[in-house]
Structure 1
Amino acid sequence: MAEIIIKNLRKNFGDFTAVQSSSFKIEDGEFFMLLGPSGCGKTTTLRMIAGLELPTAGEIYIDGEEVSQKPARQRDIAFVFQMFALYPHMNVRKNISYPLVSQGMAKAQIKEKVAEVSRILGIEDILDRPVGGLSGGDRQRVALGRAIVREPKAFMMDEPLGALDAEFRERMAEELRALHDRMGATTIYVTHDQLEAMQMGDKIVVMNHGVIEQFGTPQDIYDKPATMFVADFIGSPSMNFLRFHGQVHTGATSIRMHHVDLSVPAVREPFEGDMVYGIRPEHIALSDSSESRGEVVAAEYLGTTQIVTVKTASGNLKARISSDQPVRSGEQVGLAFNGATATLFDNQSGKALRSDLNEGVLAHV
């Protein structure tokens, strides 16, 4: 397997810049997620790493070799697509063995490798069946088998679970992660699904309009968003944003918003202007003793928890609380914020203000 290093990667299509000066490092054996909405540049980035698109500028290193201008066949990678891309006239066994047959490998060795891969994927019983009659989950296993059997330096996966229904998708996500852990394979995985990225990834790059917004572990990205885009894109419900005008001084641990003092992680540099106080729904509690108050406008029951929407002077916000706590529409409630988990943003740039919470996060961007 291989370490992959991306340096100042850029891709232009005429006057349109699809990927802007991206740099990041994928460790050997890491399950790495490229995450973002449609059109953000994640698939273009993956295709450049794979050699299916040549970059306009920048460098790509796979296992220490600079490959940015080399075609895909010279990069020793395997690609798994969303739509399976299987050969319909071949059975499962022939689909999996095809790359090895193309390489001229001996029949006995091919048989051994196909048996091993089918055992790993749990598809020994369908090896002689035509692929056309298989379920979506089984066809994706066959596509994975055809990639794995080559033992490439890295796997590139472009939304491989996107065509599956919700039940199969969740099951296959678990299987893919377990398969990765057994093989220790360097894997780059493109998805627009933040839950999938958080569930499966060791590291995540969050992209937007061709720009890397943040790079880090799932926990860092969730707990310490570097930008308002990341804070909004990650999490369900997403982070609450309360806008206000004010100023903070170096070392400040509270801010004044609409005549209420709210605690924040210690600020590392002064700022004055339009700011945003960001806080996750699970870090808001309903408390009669709180200064901050609002009116309940909706409650969504989710089993052990409920999402309560509260109208405040600063706008609507959502709180995730226990479903055992009774609330009624129209009720006036107090709101208590866990300020140690809050993030302050510059409203104009959308970037997090440096604090004890996000110290070092922006260095990844």
Structure 2
Amino acid sequence: MAEIVIRNLRKEFGDFTAVQSSSFKIEDGEFFMLLGPSGCGKTTTLRMIAGLELPTSGEIYIDGEEVGQRPASQRDIAFVFQMFALYPHMNVRKNISYPLVSQGMPKHQVAEKVAEVARILGIEKILDRPVGGLSGGDRQRVALGRAIVRDPKAFMMDEPLGALDAEFREHMAEELRALHDRMGATTVYVTHDQLEAMQMGDKIVVMNHGVIEQFGTPQDIYDKPATMFVADFIGSPPMNFLRFHGEVHAGASKVMMHHEELDVPRLMEPFEGDMVFGIRPEHITLNDSGSYRGEVLAAEYLGTTQIVTLKTASGELKARIPSDQPVRAGEFVGLEFNGSTVTLFDNQSGRALRSELNEGVLAHG
């Protein structure tokens, strides 16, 4: 397998810039997610790593070798796409063995490799069946088998579970992550589904409009978002944003928001202007002793928890609280915020203000 290093990668299509000066490192054996909305540049980035698109500028290193201007055939990369791309006139065995047969591998070695891959994927019983009659999940396993059988340096996966229904997609995500762990393969995986990225990835790059918004572990990206875009894109419900104008000095651990003093992580730099107080729904407590007040607009029951929508002086927010805590639409309640989990943003740039919560993340993100 291989380490992949991206340096100042850029891709232009005429006047349109799809990817802007991206840099990141994928460790050997890592399950790496490229995450973002449609049109953000994630698939273009994957295609450049794979050699299906050549970059306008920048460098791509695979296993220490610069391959940025080499075609896909010279990069030892295997692909898995959303639409399976199987050969309908071949059975499962022949689909999986096709890359090896094309390379001229002896028949006995091909048979051994196919048997090994089928055992890993649990598809021994369908090897001689035509692919046309298979379920979506089995067809995806066959597509994975055809990629795995080559023992490539890295796997490139472009929304491979996107065509499956929601319940089965979650099951296949678990299978795919377990398969990755058994093989120790370097995998680059494109998705627009933040839950999929958080569930499967070792590291995540979040992209928007061709720009990397943040690069880090799922936990860091969730707990310490570098931008308002990341905070809004990751999480369900997403982070709450309460806007206010104020001034804070370096070392401050409180802010004044609409005449209420609220705890925040210690700030590393001074700031004055329009700010955004960001807080996750699960870090809000409804408590009559809270001085910051909100009106209950609605409550959504979710089993062990409920999502309560409240109207405050700074705007609406959502709180995730225990389902057995009574709330009524129209009542006013006190709100308490877990200050150690708050992220302050510059409202104009959308960037997080540096604090003791996110100092290391922003330095590397």
What is the TM-score normalised by the length of structure 2? 1.00
CA deviation after TM superposition for structure 1 residue 360, in Å: 2.0
Letter in 2 for 1:2: A
How far apart in 2 are the matches of 1:262 and 1:195? 31
How far apart in 2 are the matches of 1:364 and 1:42? 20
Q: How does 1:32-111 map onto structure 2 within 5 Å?
A: 32-111=32-111
Letter in 2 for 1:117: V
Q: Which residue of 1 aligns with 2:333?
A: 333
Q: Which residue of 2 aligns with 1:291?
A: 291
Q: Which residue of 1 aligns with 2:280?
A: 280
Q: Which residue of 2 aligns with 1:318?
A: 318
Q: How does 1:186-197 map onto structure 2 within 5 Å?
A: 186-197=186-197
Q: Which residue of 1 aligns with 2:237?
A: 237
How far apart in 1 are the matches of 2:198 and 2:364? 18
How far apart in 2 are the matches of 1:268 and 1:110? 60
How far apart in 2 are the matches of 1:149 and 1:298? 53
Q: Which residue of 2 aligns with 1:17?
A: 17
How far apart in 2 are the matches of 1:275 and 1:185? 43
How far apart in 2 are the matches of 1:58 and 1:88? 39
Moved over 4 A (4+): none
CA deviation after TM superposition for structure 1 residue 144, in Å: 0.1
CA deviation after TM superposition for structure 1 residue 361, in Å: 1.7
Letter in 2 for 1:222: Y
Letter in 1 for 2:217: T
Aligned pair count? 365
CA deviation after TM superposition for structure 1 residue 341, in Å: 0.2
| SS of equivalent residue, structure 1 residue 188 | strand
Q: Which residue of 2 aligns with 1:151?
A: 151
How far apart in 2 are the matches of 1:124 and 1:170? 23
Q: Which residue of 2 aligns with 1:136?
A: 136
Q: Which residue of 1 aligns with 2:220?
A: 220
CA deviation after TM superposition for structure 1 residue 59, in Å: 0.2
How far apart in 1 are the matches of 2:242 and 2:166? 34
1:361 maps to 2:343: no
How far apart in 2 are the matches of 1:361 and 1:20? 21
How far apart in 1 are the matches of 2:276 and 2:64? 43
| SS of equivalent residue, structure 2 residue 359 | coil
Consecutive unaligned residues of structure 2, counting only runs of 5 or more, are none
Deviation digits for residues 88-130 of structure 1 (CA, Å, limit 9, x no counterpart): 0000000000000000000000000000000000000000000
Deviation digits for residues 156-194 of structure 1 (CA, Å, limit 9, x no counterpart): 000000000011100100000000000000000000000
Deviation digits for residues 224-278 of structure 1 (CA, Å, limit 9, x no counterpart): 0000000000000000000000010000000000011110000000000000000
How far apart in 2 are the matches of 1:331 and 1:133? 57
Q: Which residue of 2 aligns with 1:163?
A: 163
How far apart in 2 are the matches of 1:56 and 1:356? 38
How far apart in 1 are the matches of 2:355 and 2:363? 13
CA deviation after TM superposition for structure 1 residue 294, in Å: 1.0
| SS of equivalent residue, structure 2 residue 199 | helix
Letter in 1 for 2:30: E
Deviation digits for residues 275-296 of structure 1 (CA, Å, limit 9, x no counterpart): 0000000000000001111110
How far apart in 2 are the matches of 1:276 and 1:263? 14
Q: Which residue of 2 aligns with 1:31?
A: 31
Q: What percentage of residue pairs aligned between the two structures are identical?
A: 87
Letter in 1 for 2:155: F
How far apart in 1 are the matches of 2:356 and 2:327? 34
How far apart in 2 are the matches of 1:41 and 1:186? 21
How far apart in 1 are the matches of 2:171 and 2:127? 21
CA deviation after TM superposition for structure 1 residue 364, in Å: 2.6
Letter in 2 for 1:44: T
Deviation digits for residues 119-155 of structure 1 (CA, Å, limit 9, x no counterpart): 0000000000000000000000000000000000000
How far apart in 2 are the matches of 1:302 and 1:168? 21
Q: Which residue of 2 aligns with 1:205?
A: 205
